[in-house]
């Protein structure tokens, strides 16, 4: 079972770029790297997904090195509304069964 | 388009009582997930459905938990009898296919007294 490791918490000031790194040393060939955001009393919400190199969408960027043993979620110019828990998740889109493990996530606190 | 719908949003029961949660996934989503989330923890997958077939149910406590997804659309998760340790938020999610982006419902907060 491939597991992920993230920092428990991070603090950042408004307007700064935040980078959250996730380690996944045992990532499998079929695994994609997916990040979710969760606010209190809500279900997680998809942010971004990638397999290798760099992926960018309207809210974040995902950097994945060639060995794929880690990944970094980058949030540009965070605001107070970005205060949430961020989860790194490995998802297997291949055949057969697989296990989804969210881990404890990284609690990001944005300070005014 | 409506998102994932769950009911009830909150439930308080006494231990040893039964409880059921209902989930209506996004239309066209073949994969449905039930998660349990304890306070301060990430979601823990209980069971995953591909259409009406249950797969990946290794984390489902089968002595007291059961689930069904009749006709491959709505799903129900049941606990009987409930224990104090079952107090948690139960989340339902759906995706178009396995590995694709998951859409989560708001969850059902269960309190067992």
For residue A93, what is the domain's CATH number? 2.60.40.10
CA-CA distance, B17 to B98, in Å (whole number)?
A: 34
Instruction: Give the pLDDT mean for A51-78.
Output: 96
pLDDT, residue B23, reads: 97
Could you tell me how far CA A62 lies from the centroid of its own chain? 8
Interface contact flag, B99 A99, Cβ < 8 Å: no
Interface contact flag, B104 A43, Cβ < 8 Å: yes
- Which of A46, A91, A97 is facing B56, going by the closest CB pair? A97
Asked if A19 contacts A73 with a C-beta cutoff of 8 angstroms, the reply is yes
Cis peptide before B8 (omega within 30 of 0): yes
**Residues contacting A67, CB < 8 A, separation 6+:** none
**Contact residues on chain A for B45, CB-CB shorter than 8 A:** 99-101
Please give the tally of structural domains in chain A. 1
Interface contact flag, A92 B99, Cβ < 8 Å: yes
pLDDT, residue A30, reads: 84
pLDDT digits (tens, 9 = 90+) for B64-112: 999 999 888 999 999 999 999 999 999 999 999 887 889 999 999 999 9
Domains by residue range for chain B, with CATH: 5-107 (2.60.40.10)
* DSSP label of B71: G
- Which of A85, A93, A103 is facing B99, going by the closest CB pair? A93
Pull the structure tokens for residue B92: 């339902």
- Which of A42, A49, A104 is facing B101, going by the closest CB pair? A49
Asked if B33 has any chain A CB less than 8 Å from its own CB, the reply is: yes
- Domain span including residue A99: 9-111
Could you tell me how far CA A91 lies from the centroid of its own chain? 12
| Torsional sign, CA A53, A55, A56, A62 | negative
pLDDT, residue B113, reads: 97
A56 located within any domain: yes
**Where does B1-113 have alpha helices with state H?**
none
pLDDT digits (tens, 9 = 90+) for A17-60: 999 999 999 888 888 899 999 999 999 999 999 999 999 999 99
pLDDT digits (tens, 9 = 90+) for B19-31: 999 999 999 999 9
A2 located within any domain: no
Asked if B27 has any chain A CB less than 8 Å from its own CB, the reply is: no
Asked if B44 contacts B59 with a C-beta cutoff of 8 angstroms, the reply is yes
Asked if B32 contacts B69 with a C-beta cutoff of 8 angstroms, the reply is yes
């Amino acid at each position: 079972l491939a597991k992920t490791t993230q920092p428990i918490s991070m603090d950042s000031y408004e307007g700064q770029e935040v980078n959250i790194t996730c380690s996944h040393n045992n990532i499998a060939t079929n695994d994609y790297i997916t990040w979710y955001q969760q606010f209190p009393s809500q279900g997680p919400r998809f942010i971004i997904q990638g397999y290798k190199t760099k992926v960018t969408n309207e809210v974040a960027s995902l950097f994945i090195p060639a060995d794929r043993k880690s990944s970094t979620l980058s949030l540009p110019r965070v605001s107070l509304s970005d205060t949430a828990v961020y989860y790194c998740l490995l998802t297997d889109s291949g055949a057969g069964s697989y296990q989804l493990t969210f881990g404890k996530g990284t609690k990001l606190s944005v300070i005014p | 388009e409506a998102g994932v719908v769950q009911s009830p949003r909150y439930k308080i029961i006494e231990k040893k009582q039964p409880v059921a949660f209902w989930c209506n996934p996004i239309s066209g989503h073949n994969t449905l997930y039930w998660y349990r989330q304890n306070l301060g923890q990430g979601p823990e997958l209980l069971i995953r459905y591909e259409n009406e077939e249950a797969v990946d149910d290794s984390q489902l406590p089968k002595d007291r938990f059961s689930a069904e997804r009749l006709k491959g659309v709505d799903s129900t998760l049941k606990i009987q009898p409930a224990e104090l340790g079952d107090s948690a938020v139960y989340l339902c999610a759906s995706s178009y296919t396995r590995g694709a982006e998951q859409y989560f419902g708001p969850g059902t907060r269960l309190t067992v007294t």
